Structure 1
Amino acid sequence: MKILLVEDDIEISTMLKNFLITENFEVITALDGESACEKFFSDNFSLVLLDLMIPKMNGMEVMSKIREHNTVPIIIISAKDTDSDKTLGLGLGADDYITKPFSVTEVLARIKANIRRSTQYAMGTSMEQSVITQGVLSMNLNDYSVKKNGKEIELTAKEFEILKLLLQNPKKVYTKEQIYSLVWNDAYLGDENAVNVHISRLRTKIEDNPRDPQYIITVWGIGYKLGDFKE
């Protein structure tokens, strides 16, 4: 597995690179946003570790450029730890957010969880229904595409997994804790922000009117479920 590590603090970059190499990852480093984009688009990566405060082009700009063309898992590592920073990062397409200071074991666990989830999409399974349809929305589990009225919608790995969970279980109401545990494959620590942001972003992409959703319905006091959409 090849990781792009974008971090301008050489000490942190070296520490993370050396640790991840011992865990059998190949690590390519970049010290600024411009070189990060150059390296990303000239190679194939399984995951991107991205600091926000980097020179020449900040992390948010780098992530936006990556998301124009690719749904590779992106984990932000940043000293910015406010809810607004996390919401912005997740809203622009990050799959996870780790605040500094951090432990390398936490970073490793997040990397493995995100790569595992992403790899499962590529593997597929013959036991699953290949195409799921709800209203004018369809999800193909063979090529991992989502279409609305025949037009393809670009989703990140986490958005795809949330929608897949709801489409495959149309009668079930999921709490935010259950969604986080199943999609992030990690213990829920009471932070609803990640789930809320991804649900909001997903609604923006698939709903005709995100403020009056028909597909992802809020069950107040409980969580979310798939809407009873009639064709």
Structure 2
Amino acid sequence: MNKPLILVVEDDIAVSRLIATALETQNYQYHRAQNGAGALLDAVSSRPDVMLLDLGLPDMDGVEIIRKIRGWSNMPILVVSARSDDSDKVAALDAGADDYLTKPFSVEELLARLRVALRRVRYDSARSGAEASVYENGELRIDYAAGCVYRGGVEIHLTPIEYKLLCVLAKNTGKVLTHNYLLNEVWGSPSASDTPSLRVFMATLRKKLEADPSHPQYIQTHIGVGYRMIRR
């Protein structure tokens, strides 16, 4: 198997070198770009497996880059930025980023997030072509054709809303989905006033899905931002 190719988009030379060194320890291939124009050119010409993207670039905002990339590619985009406000995270994730890591960061966490993104790449490749009719993740199994959900071989009875929430999360495994995204996909409305309802349904879904809802193994909460289905 070819080594994964990572595109590092970072204008801070010291940070770029730190990331490059971390990638080298894992035997990843990488390209580096210091501005948005270079990032877009490399993304088109090299077709990297994952992009690590800083938002504060000298020629354009990172959110604009995400939107441009999403016009033609589903490549995982992991934002690595000094912007720590929830509004910045939500803007990047709503634009199409898969994950968001705030500076300063630990190299171990960066590599862990990168492994999650690469697992998604492998999963998507394995099921490319026709849409998979069955989703499997650890003990969780979703039969889309039958509309049934199982954990450890035992069927779990979900309400229509719970089932739709689970399907949206499952089809975006490894990706942080914002409250607005989930509200739009499930209810057709991104209104902030509906967020409490989302939290209630997510809590009931967890009670049915997780062996220990207080220590979830499948659905991870990103406080103030949204939720993510974890690949087991």
TM class by shorter chain equals: 0.5 to 0.7
Match of 1:56 in 2: 59
Q: TM-score if structure 1 supplies the norm length?
A: 0.64
Match of 1:104 in 2: 107
Instruction: Note the alpha carbon deviations across 1:119-148, whole angstroms, 9 max, x for none.
Output: 1121139xxxx97xxxxxxxx228xxxxxx
- Aligned counterparts, 1:125-144, within 5 A: 140-141=131-132
In the alignment, structure 1 segments of 5+ residues that lack a partner are 132-139, 143-161, 186-192, 213-217, 226-231
Please report how far the alpha carbon of residue 171 of structure 1 lies from its aligned counterpart in structure 2 after TM superposition: 4.4
Question: Structure 1 residue 122 and structure 2 residue 125: aligned?
Answer: yes
State percent identity of aligned pairs.
Answer: 31
Q: What RMSD, in angstroms, separates the aligned Cα atoms of the two structures?
A: 3.3
Distance 1:222 1:59, change over 3 A: same
Please report how far the alpha carbon of residue 219 of structure 1 lies from its aligned counterpart in structure 2 after TM superposition: 6.5
Match of 1:215 in 2: none
Question: Structure 1 residue 183 and structure 2 residue 173: aligned?
Answer: yes
Matched residue SS, 1:183: coil
The letter of the residue matching 1:183 is T
Instruction: Note the alpha carbon deviations across 1:6-44, whole angstroms, 9 max, x for none.
Output: 000000001101110110110100000011101111112
Match of 1:222 in 2: 201
Runs (4+) off by over 6 Å: none
Match of 1:155 in 2: none
Matched residue SS, 1:221: helix
The letter of the residue matching 1:76 is V
Q: TM-score if structure 2 supplies the norm length?
A: 0.64
Instruction: Note the alpha carbon deviations across 1:167-226, whole angstroms, 9 max, x for none.
Output: 6639433799xx59x9339xxxxxxx84524414545xxx7x4369xxxxx67623287x
